[in-house]
Structure formats: C-alpha cells, structure tokens
C-alpha cells in the first residue's frame, strides 16, 4: 500500500496551542515514506518554520477541508461547528462515543460526508490499554487550578482567569506563592483514580505543594458508594475515565450536605456524558472563568476545564508526541491493529 498522507491541521479553538506531532516526529514519518502537510499557525507552541525545516509541506491555516480525499486530517480538539459534511478520515479527540450532544452532531456530519473518526481516546492495544494520552499533564495542571480555586476562596474571591506557563517549574513557583499568601494551612485532597496517568500527575502536583492526599483507586470505589469521605476533604479531584460501570462520586444533594468540601476538580470533565460521576454541574468551565460556583454558603466551586494540558503546552506536546509517534507510524500497515480497532469503534457508534 502507498504510504499515508498525514495533514496536521491548525487548532481552531481558543487557548489551544498544543500539537500532537513535533517536527522531529514529522521528519521520522517522512523518512518512513509518509507525506506530511502542516498548516501554518501563529498560535501553535511550535513555530511553522520548524516543520518546514523538517521537510513538511506547508499549507494555509484552516485549509484542511480542501485537502485531497486520501489525506488523514490530524488535530487534537474539536472542529468548527459549521454543520458541513466531513469526508476525510479525522484523527482527533472527538468526545463522541459516550452520548455527548456535540459528539452526536459530529457523528452525523461524518455520516453525511462519508468520513471516519479515528478517536485519539480509543487508540488502544489488544488489551484495551490506551497507547498515548495527555493524562499526566491534565492531572498536574488540573490539580493546580483546583488549588488556585481553593486559595481564591480563602481570600473571599472566585478564581481568576488562568493562562499558560512556560514550564512546570514556573507553574509550581507561582502556585506555592499564591497558597502561602492565601492561608496558613494547606487543604486536604482526595484523588479518585490516583494510580492512573491523570491521578499520578495530580498527586505529583499536590506533593510538590505539600498538600496531604488521600489516594483512591478501583479498590476503594468497588463497593459502588456512597462515598461520604469525599465530603470530608477540602478538595476532590476526579481523575477517572467514566464508563457505564462507574459509580456516582458526588450526588446532586452534596452541596446542601454538611461538608468540608469546597472545591471539586473534575479533571476527567465529562458533564454532558451519560456516565458523569460528578452530578452537581452540567457544563465545562473556561480559562477566563475556571470555577463554576454551584453553592454559596459554604462555597462549592467546580473546576472542569477540558483542555488543561494546554496550560503547559510545550511539555505536554513533547510528551504526547513521543507516545503517539509509533502509533502514527502504524498507519502505514495496520490490517488488524490499533487503527483497525479505532475504525471498528467508530462504525459501532456511527
């Protein structure tokens, strides 16, 4: 078979500067016979010139709808919601397979155009384990924003807008100063999913900030609830990918219950999905306003930003691209492997 044509599109979502393929990875694909086209982008964390130097073809920003039929369109976050039929194969996080309303619209557009979604969340090995994920940096940044929400509460405020950091050290320095100024103690945190990628990142950030952590995983939640221990901690960090067997961690009546809990960091962030285990909110939060106040006295804020790794765009892009590169190489010859499984998942849901 001929080598694939991979088309790296510019991200069109605000506050999204990550990329799933670094220039050195693009060069490796080209050396392996791939054709790689990269759209120009002034917001991408890696300059377009670096891809040109790696041997990539450069296309105008947003030109992917006119790409050749055989091109595989690769991005991270959602496409513009203009309702147009989609005819290409698309690699991205589609958020379309768990009942999300926007995901249903995406599937309708793909069905109308004869396209395919190869969802990055569903690139798994033969045991069902994900082969590449931003999880660690989502957990790391999500814990940081949750702690900022708690610090703001100690000042009698709501959390201010967030912005990217040059690196994790700068993030930790700024957060430590904010916590030290806000209170003479550290909050307690309970993490569910503490053994996974996301939970590990959250634990590492909390440890760096001297925040006491109660670490739960499958064993602690196997009884199915209720989970009153969550209400006994200042902060709850949800770090699991919910499915049909996931219990409810925080019920709708939790805000009115006696509690120490003041901040929920729903790092998994799926309020519109059928399996949402945090039932006190119904929409994601945004960089400009990271905390959704769901109860006033005592306060309860939910942080549910759905592109947290973009707060550390270079580190998260480098890490993810290293994980994904061997999977992208498999596009060249994958009769029954990871990409075949991704196609089967799409066909099942479409």
Q: Which active-site residues does the annotation give?
A: 77, 95
How many CA atoms does the CB half-sphere of 321 hold within 13 Å? Answer: 23
Token digits for 278? 């945090």
**Cα–Cα distance measured from residue 26 to residue 74, given in angstroms and rounded to the nearest whole number:** 12
The dihedral over CA atoms of 318, 320, 322, 323, expressed in degrees to the nearest 10, equals 170
- Max distance between CA atoms of the chain, in angstroms, equals 64
The residue assigned the tokens 């499984």 is: 341
**Cα–Cα distance measured from residue 115 to residue 91, given in angstroms and rounded to the nearest whole number:** 11
Token digits for 328? 């992208």
Q: Are 237 and 189 spatial neighbours (Cβ–Cβ below 8 Å)? A: yes
Length of the chain in terms of residues written:
350
- β-sheet with 5-8: strand ranges across: 57-59, 35-39, 5-8, 72-74, 89-92, 116-119
* Cα of 300 vs its chain's centroid, Å: 23
Contacts with 222 (C-beta within 8 Å, 6 or more apart), sequence order: none
Q: Are 115 and 73 spatial neighbours (Cβ–Cβ below 8 Å)? A: no
**Cα–Cα distance measured from residue 99 to residue 95, given in angstroms and rounded to the nearest whole number:** 9
Omega of the bond prior to 300 within 30 degrees of 0, cis? no
What does R_g of the chain's alpha carbons equal in angstroms?
Answer: 21
Please report, for residues 142, 270, 322, the alpha-carbon distance to residue 285 in angstroms, rounded to integers and kept in the order given: 12, 11, 29
């Amino acid at each position: 078979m001929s080598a694939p044509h991979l088309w790296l599109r510019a991200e069109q979502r605000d506050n999204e500067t990550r990329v799933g393929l670094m220039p050195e990875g693009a060069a490796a694909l080209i050396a392996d016979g791939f054709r790689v086209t990269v759209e120009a982008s002034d917001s991408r964390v890696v300059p377009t010139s670096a891809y040109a130097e790696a041997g990539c073809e450069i296309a105008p920003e947003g030109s992917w709808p006119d790409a050749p039929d055989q091109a595989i369109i690769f991005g991270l976050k959602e496409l513009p919601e203009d309702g147009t039929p989609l005819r290409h194969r698309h690699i991205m996080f589609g958020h379309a397979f768990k009942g999300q309303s926007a995901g249903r619209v995406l599937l309708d557009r793909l069905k109308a155009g004869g396209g395919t979604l190869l969802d990055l969340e569903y690139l798994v090995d033969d045991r069902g384990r994900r082969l590449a994920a931003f999880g660690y940096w989502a957990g790391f940044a999500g814990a940081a924003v949750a702690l900022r929400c708690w610090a703001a509460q100690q000042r009698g405020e709501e959390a201010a807008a967030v912005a990217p950091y040059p690196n994790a050290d700068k993030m930790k320095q700024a957060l430590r100063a904010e916590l030290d100024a806000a209170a003479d103690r550290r909050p307690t945190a309970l993490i569910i999913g503490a053994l996974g990628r996301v939970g590990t990142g959250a634990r590492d950030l909390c440890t760096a900030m001297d925040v006491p952590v109660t670490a739960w995983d499958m064993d602690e939640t196997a009884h199915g609830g209720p989970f009153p221990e969550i209400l006994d901690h200042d902060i709850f960090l949800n770090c699991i990918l919910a499915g049909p067997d996931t219990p409810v961690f925080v019920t709708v009546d939790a805000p009115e219950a006696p509690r120490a809990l003041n901040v929920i960091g729903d790092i998994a962030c799926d309020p519109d999905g059928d399996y949402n285990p945090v039932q006190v909110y119904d929409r994601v939060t945004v960089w400009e306003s990271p905390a959704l106040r769901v109860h006033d006295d005592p306060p309860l804020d939910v942080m549910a930003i759905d592109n947290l790794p973009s707060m550390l765009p270079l580190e998260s892009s480098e890490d993810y691209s290293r994980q994904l590169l061997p999977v992208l190489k498999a596009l060249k010859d994958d009769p029954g492997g990871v990409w075949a499984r991704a196609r089967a998942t799409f066909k099942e849901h479409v």
